[in-house]
Copies of this chain bind each other. A is one copy, B any other.
Amino acid sequence: MNVITKSSHMYARALELKKRGQSIGLVPTMGALHEGHMSLIRQARKENDVVIVSIFVNPLQFGGGEDFSRYPRPFKKDFSLCSRASVDYVFNPAPSDLYPDGFSTYVEVDNLSSVLCGKSRPGHFRGVATVVNKLCNITCPDIMYVGQKDAQQSVIIRRMAVDLNLPVVIRVMPIIREPDGLAMSSRNEYLNGREREDALVLYNSLMLAKNMVKAGTRDVTRIISAMKKFIRVKKNALIDYVAVVEPDTLVPFKKITGQCLIALAVRIGKTRLIDNIVLTVKKKP
């Protein structure tokens, strides 16, 4: 496995691989790799001649009061996980390589970026879209692998790829959960014992919603109210949002119909966690 730190070197190598007719799978990450990331890497390994994992804690997608500086960076452990998963290249650039002096170009996905997580994290998805666009140009992937855990992010990346004619397929892979249901996240390591228990409230509120829908409830206001009430029982939990939206446009639903994305963000102590499920309800004939 090769670790490459300069984008010019990474691009030169990617171009060489493309010229030799090799297919490239890219897994863009911020490191602190967990089983969620590994599932993307394994899928990339199955479908491509060459697998590139980018590890870059992207300053552009962190807001002023957010956890950029304390975000976990266990790069050595990450490299070894990648190596064991038969990754070919880890691309691990410095911020000054991706954002040199005078940097001033941003990719913005309007509308989709200002709802849900975008409301409380202004500029976040601009940072995501910009870095993903750059990573595509640097690593020339045929397929890019992202996780459904970041549902809004994956919608935005898919929209950007279509809108800007990026020649890449975006493969969205299912959420990987701990045995008790907590969605895997690099931020889970911020949680202390009590918070780790309380964090289950995200998944359990989604299960509550799922069961309500199964039992016939279609009114979104009722579902969201029930979820919020359920979450508020935990004193450590502060709701950012609970939303039921159309999975591609993120437009809120009033009544559950067809496919819908139920997504939420909840602060457990100081740690902001997100989770979601997609439900499919058959329209009545």
Q: Are B164 and A105 in contact (CB under 8 A)?
A: yes
The answer to the question of A225 belonging to the interface, with a C-beta cut-off of 8 Å to chain B, is no
Q: Are A164 and B104 in contact (CB under 8 A)?
A: no
Q: Give the nearest-CB partner of A135 in chain B.
A: B165
Nearest Cβ in chain B — how far from A148, in angstroms? 21
Enumerate chain B residues within 8 angstroms of A112, measured Cβ to Cβ. 104
A164-B134, A165-B137 given as contacts; is B107 within 8 A of A106 (CB)? Answer: yes
The answer to the question of A167 belonging to the interface, with a C-beta cut-off of 8 Å to chain B, is yes
CA distance A191 to B111 in the complex (A): 40
Q: Are B105 and A163 in contact (CB under 8 A)?
A: yes
The answer to the question of A35 belonging to the interface, with a C-beta cut-off of 8 Å to chain B, is no
Enumerate chain B residues within 8 angstroms of A249, measured Cβ to Cβ. 102
CA distance A106 to B160 in the complex (A): 9
Task: Pick the residue among B107, B110, B167 that contacts A164 (CB under 8 A).
Answer: B107
Enumerate chain B residues within 8 angstroms of A94, measured Cβ to Cβ. none
The answer to the question of A259 belonging to the interface, with a C-beta cut-off of 8 Å to chain B, is no
> Which residues between 117 and 147 of chain A lie within 8 Å of chain B, taking CB atoms?
129-130, 133-134, 137-138
Enumerate chain B residues within 8 angstroms of A162, measured Cβ to Cβ. 100
Enumerate chain B residues within 8 angstroms of A166, measured Cβ to Cβ. 137
